[in-house]
Amino acid sequence: MDKISSWESYENLDEEQYVDLISYSKELVSNSPNHKISFLIIAEGTEPKEEEAETKNQEEADKKLAIRGRSKNILNSIYGI
């Protein structure tokens, strides 16, 4: 890709619109091989989903730390480390 021109706009697309946009882009490119179309897709979660994922990640990290702590205790009791 040589250069992307600037475009100060944002389009919120639903799935049906996105699929049609891709289909239409393919038609345009097939009719004129000199054209190239590129898309930048940015996915954002909703705040509740982001908070839920963050909480889940923290819980998993805490669980791993607890398991590692128990593993250390087991090895210490067996080998006197």
- Does residue 42 sit within a domain? yes
Mean pLDDT of 38-57: 79
- Does residue 7 sit within a domain? no
Residue 2's pLDDT band, with cuts at 50, 70 and 90, is: low
Whole-model pTM: value is: 0.42
Which structural domain range is residue 73 located in?
15-79
Q: What is the pLDDT of residue 6?
A: 65
Residue 68's pLDDT band, with cuts at 50, 70 and 90, is: very high
Of the candidates 43, 26, 70, the one whose C-alpha atom is nearest the C-alpha of residue 62 is: 70
> With contact defined as beta carbons under 8 Å apart, do 35 and 28 qualify?
yes
- Does residue 25 sit within a domain? yes
What is the Cα–Cα distance from 25 to 57, expressed in whole angstroms?
Answer: 39
Q: What is the pLDDT of residue 3?
A: 63
Describe the chain by its helix, strand, coil percentages, rounded to 5.
Answer: 60, 0, 40
Q: How many domains does the chain have?
A: 1
Residue 61's pLDDT band, with cuts at 50, 70 and 90, is: very high
- Does residue 22 sit within a domain? yes
